[in-house]
Amino acid sequence: MKRSRLATLALVAAASGSGCGAAVDHAAQAEGPAATRAIAGMQPTEGNRVRGIVTFTRVPGGVRVEADITGLTPGKHGFHVHQWGDVSGFDGKSAGGHFDPLGTEHALPAEEPRHVGDLGNLEADASGVARYERIDSQLALSGTNSIVGRALIVHALEDDGGQPSGNAGARVAMGVIGIDDAADGR
Ligand code: CU
Ligand code: ZN
């Protein structure tokens, strides 16, 4: 008797947890919308011509970052998620420092610990075009490590992994990372 009553309770609990009811999941709401894809349209800072598109797609093991950037000088360019989605300044500095929700030191992306926003370097070819792809286990599109609503920055110089932020110099392109659900068929 006791056993079947427990089974019934379990069924009720399962039914109330299923998706089609009107009940609001406040825990999920507190975390914000769970985007599956995000995008940053990169615009040049003053005096530069660097622009492009960067997408962030949730995949098993983390987030796939894919960047297509033009207008660079040949070679390596620091590439980071910065703290604030404020690109109102002419030089990108209003975006603040590297996105660092865990309070660690700067590093290149293969190293631990590192700032969550440390994506290393883009590498531009002789014509100034850079293509970057990486599946990153620290970036997220929801929760503490969420990059949605923060800024993405491309730098003039190489990120050499040094403290406090890789010695990557001026900010040559900037964009805000926003929600972009790829499932809508555009
Ligand atoms: Cu940076
Ligand atoms: Zn950093």
Domain boundaries defined on the chain: 1-32, 37-184
* Contact residues for 116 (Cβ-Cβ < 8 A; gap 6+): 81, 99, 100, 101, 102, 138, 139, 145, 147
pLDDT for the residue numbered 22 = 55
Q: Is the pTM of this model over 0.85?
A: no
Q: Is 132 helix (H, G, I), strand (E, B) or coil?
A: strand
Range 59-81 average pLDDT: 97
Per the model's pLDDT, the better-predicted residue between 123 and 3 turns out to be 123
pLDDT of 102 strictly over 80: yes
* Contact residues for 55 (Cβ-Cβ < 8 A; gap 6+): 37, 38, 39, 64, 65, 66, 180, 182
Range 97-115 average pLDDT: 97
Determine whether 171 is an active site residue. Answer: yes
Q: How many CB atoms lie within 10 A of CB 104?
A: 14
Q: What is the pLDDT of residues 36-68, one digit of tens each?
A: 999 999 999 999 999 999 999 999 999 999 999
Range 170-183 average pLDDT: 90
pLDDT of 109 strictly over 60: yes
Q: How far is the CA of 70 from the centre of ligand 1 (A)?
A: 17
Averaged confidence pLDDT in the chain: 87
Determine whether 77 is an active site residue. Answer: no
Q: How far is the CA of 102 from the centre of ligand 2 (A)?
A: 11
CATH superfamily of domain region 37-184: Superoxide dismutase, copper/zinc binding domain (2.60.40.200)
Q: How far is the CA of 154 from the centre of ligand 1 (A)?
A: 6
